[in-house]
Amino acid sequence: MRKKPGRLRRFLSLNQHRKRWGARRHATAEHDLAELKATMIDAGDPVQTRGSAKSIDLHLQNLRTEFSGQSALLLYHAELIVLIRRDHNLAETYQKFRTLWMAEGDFLREKLNIRWLVSATDTFATHDSDMAVRAVAMMTSAVVNTVKMYESERYLTDTLDTTMTPTHVEDVQHRLIPLFEGMSCFTVGTDDTLRNMVWRMEPFMALDPVGPIFQEIWARLQINDTAFARFKAQHKRDKTSWWDEA
């Protein structure tokens, strides 16, 4: 695996400097969070960005279109992440990002989609001074990226139909089905693996500001089209359920 570039290599990279050109224009001193929260972005039909343009001006313009019809506070959150990833006044910009989450965490968790919630946890995992915060943030990103990988595999292998084979469902009730390295198949309908995992995760979900993000994402993974939701639909034993009813 290729090693992550060090600070010196990034400093000498023309591409990195090119990505930061113009950042100062977008990094104003203070923002009125209440005003941003109440302001709606009007930039036509929203279009989700894919990747990032080298020009920070173009990238932020594309983000404005992505957040069209939504609160300007969500765009401000995305802009801070962009500035942090481009190493613009890193300590100061990260402090603004953290302050935003401490002040408006409830709103951000409610309004941001999983993509941007994970962008937030990636940012906490990379830059926070508290290793406990970084650990919970990394845990969150790892869970979501695992879901992203296997759901991508479903599309790429044309296996979107996840209807369970009844004979296989019955089979796992009565015998161990090996997977790899001592791992065995989940016993659909009764297994306590996920309930026990959630019990272990709960203390981490209480750690501000990232724990509640983890909790929000976990709840959404139970209702979107994921393996968690599909196994939830087949679960029959109440005492081993792993989700909270809405």
What residues does each domain of the chain span? Answer: 7-109, 133-240
**pLDDT for residue 153:** 97
Cβ contacts of 170 within 8 Å, gap of 6 or more: none
Q: Are 219 and 144 in contact (CB under 8 A)?
A: no
Q: Are 120 and 126 in contact (CB under 8 A)?
A: no
Q: CB-side exposure of 69: number of CA atoms within 13 Å? A: 6
**pLDDT for residue 17:** 47
| pTM, rounded to two decimals | 0.87
Q: Which of 237, 126, 221, 219 is nearest to 173 (CA)?
A: 237
Q: Are 105 and 214 in contact (CB under 8 A)?
A: no
**pLDDT for residue 83:** 94
Sign of CA dihedral 50, 52, 55, 56: positive
**pLDDT for residue 24:** 56
Q: What is the pLDDT along the chain (246 residues), one digit of tens a residue?
A: 666 777 666 565 555 545 545 555 555 557 799 999 999 999 888 888 777 666 788 889 989 999 999 999 999 999 999 999 999 899 999 999 999 999 999 999 999 999 999 999 999 999 999 999 999 999 999 999 999 999 999 999 999 999 999 999 999 999 999 999 999 999 999 999 999 999 999 999 999 999 999 999 999 999 999 999 999 999 999 999 999 876
Q: What's the N-to-C CA distance of the chain in angstroms?
A: 42
Give, in degrees to the nearest 5, the angle at Cα 139 between 213 and 8. Answer: 105
Cβ contacts of 126 within 8 Å, gap of 6 or more: 134
How far is Cα 7 from Cα 60, in angstroms, rounded to an integer?
25
**pLDDT for residue 245:** 78
144: its two tokens: 């979501």
Q: Which of 177, 196, 197 is nearest to 186 (CA)?
A: 177
